[in-house]
């Protein structure tokens, strides 16, 4: 199993750079570009949720992304932050109305991964997102 950690500030320009770095790393393992796009999108949504809901747009704060690759099986992305606990993703998974300006993040994540879970422990939020990867999508 491969494991890589990225650290970043929870700021819009940092989130874009972070998700690009993760996508570049995944290029070494996965050749399916649509899959890499999906994983980058869920990561971007999760990191943006940290920015907006955990720290607040102006407050700043750090986040970590842990990538766990189980070759030929699955990829798990974990987004960790030290903000206040989240009140549970179950209430936040909904399809927003077209005119809504926010509220789609967890809904998008729920549609693009096979499973996800939230945990708050020892002062840290962790959102784990797992996607099973078909054999044909792997490199080599």
Q: Which residues pair with 3 in a beta bridge?
A: 68
- Angle made by CA atoms 68, 138, 41, in degrees to the nearest 5: 60
28 located within any domain: yes
30 located within any domain: yes
Q: What is the C-alpha separation between 49 and 27, in angstroms, rounded?
A: 25
CB 92 within 8 A of CB 41: no
Q: What is the C-alpha separation between 77 and 64, in angstroms, rounded?
A: 10
CATH code of the domain containing 52: 3.30.565.10
- Determine phi and psi for 100, rounding to 5 degrees: -65, 140
Rounded to 10 deg, the angle between the 12-26 and 33-49 helix axes is: 150
Number of independent structural domains in the chain: 1
pLDDT tens track of the chain, all 140 residues?
899 999 999 988 899 999 999 999 999 999 999 999 999 999 999 999 898 888 876 667 999 999 999 999 999 999 999 999 876 555 455 555 555 555 678 888 999 999 999 999 999 999 999 999 999 999 98
Query: Looking at residue 91, what is its pLDDT?
Result: 47
Instruction: Note down the domain range covering 111.
Output: 2-90+103-137
Q: Which residues pair with 115 in a beta bridge?
A: 130
């Amino acid at each position: 199993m491969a494991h890589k950690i990225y650290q970043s500030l929870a700021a819009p320009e940092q989130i874009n750079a972070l998700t690009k770095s993760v996508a570049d790393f995944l290029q070494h393992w996965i050749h399916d570009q649509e899959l890499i796009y999906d994983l980058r999108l869920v990561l971007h949504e999760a990191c943006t949720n940290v920015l907006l809901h955990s720290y607040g747009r102006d407050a700043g704060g750090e986040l970590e992304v842990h990538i766990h690759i189980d070759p030929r099986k699955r990829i798990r992305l974990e987004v960790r932050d030290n903000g206040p606990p989240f009140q549970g993703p179950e209430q936040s998974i909904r399809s927003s109305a077209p005119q809504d300006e926010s509220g789609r993040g967890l809904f998008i994540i729920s549609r693009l991964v096979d499973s996800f879970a939230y945990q708050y422990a020892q002062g840290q939020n962790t959102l784990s997102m797992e996607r099973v990867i078909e054999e044909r999508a792997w490199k080599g």
